[in-house]
Structure 1
Amino acid sequence: MNMKTIYYFSGTGNTLYLAKFLKDNCSYNLVDIAEVLDKNIKIEGEVGFLFPIYAMGIPKLVEKFIKNIEIGDAKYIFAIATCGGSGYGIPFQQINNILKNKSTKLNYSEYCHMPDNYLKLFKPLSESDAKIDLEKSSSKMKLISKNISNQQNSYNKSHIILYPIFLLIYKFWRLGLKRTHKSFEVSKEKCITCKICEKVCPVDNIKLENKIPSWQNSCEECLACVNLCPTIAISCGKKSKHNMRYKNPYILVTELIKQKSGS
């Protein structure tokens, strides 16, 4: 029996939305990367990595996960990056650099547009506008589904000429992550101590102190805590104080809560 597994990371539901589509149409099992970061994983059969683009590259925990996996009898490996634009960055080059040390590489890679959710720079779409935006991506999602079902070999090299610039942007972003925890603010008047921010954090970076969330220094900047707070009590940067919040309209908050070992 051929194993078919998608390992995904999703902060506000966009990547999970795509992962569930591929599960329904291509019969893949879904595994949340945040829930297996500390486990020994050997990849077998058909394997996919799904994740959002962060500063032109891969999220830090996705990099950690792929570095730690063991390559078993993996017959077909693909990666799909969700992003606010039409497709740009260096995530697939980054993944192949990691896989090269494991004597393998991606068979297929592609970008898939999803609504912007980076509150520090963009104003999120309303739920109705997000649904319209997602509908525009349906044809691309179907194409990706068809391609991986047929085990197509295709490597997306878009904007490869800009690799040095994108890499520089990514490195500056990674350096900035060390200070991100200082940017979070909580309105004590709005906070209802529901612990959703703590539960959706993919790296256990949020702890409640005197019933108010406090951030440690290992933030991934997925901003799930900001976007999914039911009372909009959390902000991160000046723009986020005035912006709406975003959650994929077809994904429940409960689906984004991380079920880690020992939790």
Structure 2
Amino acid sequence: MKTAIYYFTGTGNSLAAAQRIAADLGDAVLIPIASLQSTSGEITPQADRVGIVCPVYDCGVPVMVAEFAARLDLSRAAYTFAIVTMGGMGVSALHQLNGIFRERQGRGLDAGFAVRMPGNFPPLYRPPAGKKCDRTLAAADERLGAIAEAIGCGRAVPPRFAPFSTLAKAISYGSFAKSVHEADKDFSVSDACTGCGTCARVCPAGNITLERGRPAWNHRCELCCACLHFCPVEAIQLHVMRGTEGRGRYRHPDLTVADMRVQREGGTF
């Protein structure tokens, strides 16, 4: 049974999850959602199983993912699923996708799964490091193995009830979604910047250009913070909440700049 897995990632957790699921299922293709932003109209996957894998932002899905899901035609799919990766709460993101599909398709997800992975929003908390990070990734890998088994069997797994996550999403997600593209106004770059251009290469939204050797943000931000985490000299800071100065950086140990470029420019794994 062929599987199409559409993914969005900022620090690599969701890509690692998608890769693990694809490897376990076999006959699966990974398709970056960011590479489809320049296309218009509905998207009809040529696959029996169709899934979305993405992180949780403010207890919902990234705006780019929500917009993509509204364009997805699932009429040919026998089984649909979603996996969200999260550092804290976020099952409400599965209910969001389920609602989008019900409104668009008249059918919801056949299965929805949440996977705890290293949190990576330094203004809110320090990303885990060392053995703590390793333990979190190992537990996530074990969880993903069980998820792949459920998907492979075609098991129905409705998103579980999550009152606190649902309440948090109701409070915060609307304002997040409304203002996220302008959120890049809170980024800055210090004199430590070397003009290497890594930030521009890893941005899935294609939101960063180099002007006189320094990054400029162009108000298409998804707040994935790839620019922040990938900067080799930590010259980029985000000035919200507690800020990011000295608060650590994170990306999945298997994620590369090349992976991020594939995400924006298109290509499959």
TM value normalised by structure 2: 0.89
**Partner in structure 2 of residue 35 of structure 1:** 35
Distance 1:139 1:60 in 2: 29
**Partner in structure 2 of residue 172 of structure 1:** 175
Distance 2:222 2:122 in 1: 14
Distance 1:74 1:63 in 2: 19
**Partner in structure 2 of residue 54 of structure 1:** 57
**Partner in structure 1 of residue 12 of structure 2:** 13
Cα deviation, residue 117, structure 1 = 0.5
**Partner in structure 2 of residue 98 of structure 1:** 100
**Partner in structure 2 of residue 113 of structure 1:** 116
Cα deviation, residue 154, structure 1 = 1.1
Q: Which amino acid letter does the alignment assign opposite residue 117 of structure 1?
A: N
Cα deviation, residue 132, structure 1 = 2.3
Cα deviation, residue 157, structure 1 = 2.5
**Do residues 242 (structure 1) and 241 (structure 2) align?**
no
Deviates more, 1:213-222 or 1:91-100: 91-100
**Partner in structure 1 of residue 229 of structure 2:** 227
Q: Which amino acid letter does the alignment assign opposite residue 98 of structure 2?
A: N
**Partner in structure 1 of residue 86 of structure 2:** 83
Cα deviation, residue 202, structure 1 = 1.3
3-state DSSP of counterpart to 2:78: strand
Cα deviation, residue 194, structure 1 = 1.7
Give the conservation status (yes or no) of the 8 Å contact 2:123–2:238: yes
**Two-structure CA RMSD over aligned residues (Å):** 1.8
**Partner in structure 2 of residue 185 of structure 1:** 188
**Do residues 260 (structure 1) and 262 (structure 2) align?**
no
Give the conservation status (yes or no) of the 8 Å contact 2:75–2:105: no
Deviates more, 1:168-177 or 1:29-38: 168-177
**Structure 1 residues 259, 95: CA separation in 2 closer, same or farther (over 3 Å shift)?**
closer
Distance 1:32 1:56 in 2: 21
Give the conservation status (yes or no) of the 8 Å contact 2:8–2:34: yes
Cα deviation, residue 13, structure 1 = 0.6
Give the conservation status (yes or no) of the 8 Å contact 1:6–1:48: yes
Deviates more, 1:160-169 or 1:245-254: 160-169
**Partner in structure 2 of residue 251 of structure 1:** 255
Runs of 4+ in structure 1 displaced over 3 angstroms? Answer: none
Deviates more, 1:24-33 or 1:121-130: 121-130
TM value normalised by structure 1: 0.91
Distance 1:250 1:166 in 2: 30
Please list the CA deviations of residues 22-47 of structure 1 after superposition, one character each: whole Å capped at 9, or x if unmatched.
11111121111111223352123101
Cα deviation, residue 49, structure 1 = 0.4
Q: Which amino acid letter does the alignment assign opposite residue 70 of structure 2?
A: K
- The structure 1 residue matched to 2:196, chosen from 185, 194, 197, is 194
Aligned length, in residue pairs: 258
3-state DSSP of counterpart to 1:240: coil
Give the conservation status (yes or no) of the 8 Å contact 1:130–1:249: no
Give the conservation status (yes or no) of the 8 Å contact 1:108–1:152: yes
**Structure 1 residues 164, 113: CA separation in 2 closer, same or farther (over 3 Å shift)?**
closer
- The structure 1 residue matched to 2:153, chosen from 150, 161, 164, is 150
**Partner in structure 2 of residue 206 of structure 1:** 208
Q: Unaligned regions of 5+ residues in structure 1, if any?
A: none
Deviates more, 1:178-187 or 1:164-173: 164-173
Q: Unaligned regions of 5+ residues in structure 2, if any?
A: none
**Structure 1 residues 177, 192: CA separation in 2 closer, same or farther (over 3 Å shift)?**
same
Cα deviation, residue 3, structure 1 = 2.5
Cα deviation, residue 180, structure 1 = 1.4
